A and B are shown apart, each in its own frame.
Chain A
């Protein structure tokens, strides 16, 4: 199993600013995932972050808007840049899911409100 913590747990930010979300895992993992959950919606994958390489972004998400760092095997950050109210969502970090039978573990999420 894996225990994941995220900081901050919530924030209220002004339009045009940026917020960096931290994700810490209690064990070393190869792949980390960042998801977005818009109000009342399901989870959507933003990107996959491997240590030592560039993150892989899903369709509709770009590096300039959501830069990701992965400096080691237990930590990652996601930055939401130049925020607009449409970025108001819960952002979740996740690890695991190796292979088709692997469990995936999720952090508690960061609730972002952009005013």
Chain B
């Protein structure tokens, strides 16, 4: 499985933007970049995914480097509810049908 590297933890102030980085230098051309998050005492939930172009949805934005070896999840205005573990996951046709979770980044949001 292609691996991703994320910082163990990050901290943000409420209502400020948050940039969560992910390195995936061994990504292949057909791998999608997925982001999931796990709120306390809940199962993981989908945040966003992309292949090559930057993506926006109601939850976040995903900025993908031109060489695709890194990406950044952007939360435009962090709220206390965004405190969670964020997982950056690569998924391609060679990885079967499930996601392989790394340790993720634990985001703390300060009021």
Contact = CB atoms under 8 A, between A and B. Distances in A.
Interface in B63-91: 85, 87, 91
Contact of B43 (A41, A42, A100, A106): A106
B43 A108 contact: yes
The secondary-structure label for the interface of chain A is strand
Contact of B98 (A33, A107, A108): A33
Which bucket holds chain B's interface residue count? 20 to 34
B97 A45 contact: no
Contacts of A33: 97-98
A24 to B, nearest CB: 14
A20 to B, nearest CB: 19
Given A101-B51, A104-B46, A42 B31 contact: no
Nearest to B43: A106
B101 A107 contact: no
Interface string A80-113: 0000000000001010011111011111110000
29 contacts: A33-B97, A42-B87, A42-B101, A42-B102, A42-B103, A43-B44, A45-B98, A48-B96, A92-B43, A92-B44, A94-B98, A100-B30, A100-B31, A100-B92, A100-B93, A100-B95, A101-B32, A101-B51, A101-B91, A103-B46, A103-B49, A104-B46, A105-B46, A106-B43, A106-B45, A108-B42, A108-B43, A109-B41, A109-B43
Interface of B: 30-32, 36, 41-46, 49, 51, 85, 87, 91-93, 95-104
Interface of A: 4, 31, 33, 35, 41-45, 48, 92, 94, 97-101, 103-109
